[in-house]
Amino acid sequence: MSFLKTALAASVATLATTAAHAENWDMPMAYPADNYHTENAQIFVDAVRECSGGDLNITIHAGGSLFKGDEIKRAVQVGEAQIGERLLSAHANENPVFGYDSVPFLATSFEASDKLRDAAKPTLTKVMNAQNMTPLYSVPWPAQGLYFAKEVNSLDDVQGVKFRAYNAATARVAELAGMVPTQIEAAELKQALATGVVSAFISSGSTGVDEKAWEDLTHFYDAKAWLPRNTVFVNSDALAGLSDESRKCLLDEAAKAEARGSETAAKLAGGFLDQLAEGGMTVAEPGEQLAADLQEIGATMTDEWLESAGDDGRAIVDAYRK
């Protein structure tokens, strides 16, 4: 065989092996393509493609386009998607452990949120593994504040207000405050605000900017109630099916994405509030009475969560406070 032929045969063989091993994964995500969570994940999947030598190609489907937010966890569990991102606290009705990041006033800074994430990791991994999933990384949203269509000085001002909830904790805040909660994914929030289905919600400045909240609402109170997290997780069978090299590459890049995501969120947080103000909203700390009312709700909800999450919840809080 001539040199050229040998070289050609060798490269065809390499191609064949690559093709046989190449994995194409779908990654449903619920938030907009230009949100920093999605952009961070795009850097992650690009790096994974690179370090796997093209063997692991992950395609992001942003904005709930492949699966809606509330379908993503199940889709990954049953293998309809191999990997996905979800606000896991939205599944706290199924297991209170998923709501570890939405306990009011437990962790209210980026630093505390990362510490709580580490404290929850063993328990969350155990719970996810039992559902055939493996958590890869999680990234915080900025601290949660309250959006209203009027000035609010105490809960007396919000009785009966229609409130958008994104998980059990936000629905409970509304109930305890005397508001009327409706569960609405971020992808449907703008429509709900525009049509008056809701006129208030709790979220970060990030989502307020994504939704151009100033077009529908007037006040943001920076309550710093908690920092919920989006978690990226993978179907455990899909993970086991990877080559050792691809699996290592995925896990290494996940660790980088987690650190990068926290840093990015912290860097952007202040600017989001500036944008709300630039849009015309009043951005303020909650006044004395509203702050006291929220603390009282927080204390009730902390007791309720500890009660419902049992030993798993206790393990998370103990590890966090250590």
Does 186 contact ligand PCA by CB under 6 A? Answer: yes
Does 35 contact ligand PCA by CB under 6 A? Answer: no
| H-run or E-run covering 27 | strand 23-28
Q: How would you label 201-220 residue by residue, b for 16+ Cβ within 10 Å and e otherwise?
A: bbbbbbbbbbbebbebbebb
Q: Distance from CA of residue 311 to its chain's centroid?
A: 24
Does 275 contact ligand PCA by CB under 6 A? Answer: no
Q: Pick the stretch among 200-208, 216-224, 301-309, 313-321 that binds ligand PCA (CB under 6 A).
A: 200-208
Does 102 contact ligand PCA by CB under 6 A? Answer: no
Of 40, 123, 199, 203, the residue at the interface with ligand PCA (CB under 6 A) is 203
Binding-site size for ligand PCA (CB under 6 A) equals 9
Does 264 contact ligand PCA by CB under 6 A? Answer: no
Of 40, 131, 207, 231, the residue at the interface with ligand PCA (CB under 6 A) is 207
Q: Is 23 exposed, middle or buried (0-12, 13-18, 19+ CB in 10 A)?
A: middle
Of 113, 123, 204, 246, the residue at the interface with ligand PCA (CB under 6 A) is 204
Q: Which of 47, 48, 53, 72 is nearest to 61 (CA)?
A: 72
Residue nearest to ligand PCA (CB): 204
Q: Is 318 exposed, middle or buried (0-12, 13-18, 19+ CB in 10 A)?
A: exposed
Nearer CB in complex with ligand PCA: 170/246: 170
Helix (H, G, I), strand (E, B) or coil at 229: strand
Nearer CB in complex with ligand PCA: 25/163: 163
Give, as ranges, the residues between 119 and 178 that touch ligand PCA (CB under 6 A): 141, 166
Q: What is the spatial distance between Cα 229 and Cα 258, in angstroms, rounded to a whole number?
A: 11
Give, as ranges, the residues between 221 and 250 that touch ligand PCA (CB under 6 A): 228
Does 87 contact ligand PCA by CB under 6 A? Answer: yes
Name 235's bridge partners. Answer: 133
Backbone angles phi, psi at 264, to 5 degrees: -65, -45
Q: If you ran DSSP here, which 8-state letter would residue 58 be given?
A: E
Nearer CB in complex with ligand PCA: 252/274: 274
Q: Pick the stretch among 50-58, 70-78, 201-209, 261-269 that binds ligand PCA (CB under 6 A).
A: 201-209
Sites of contact with ligand PCA (CB under 6 A):
87, 141, 166, 186, 203-204, 206-207, 228
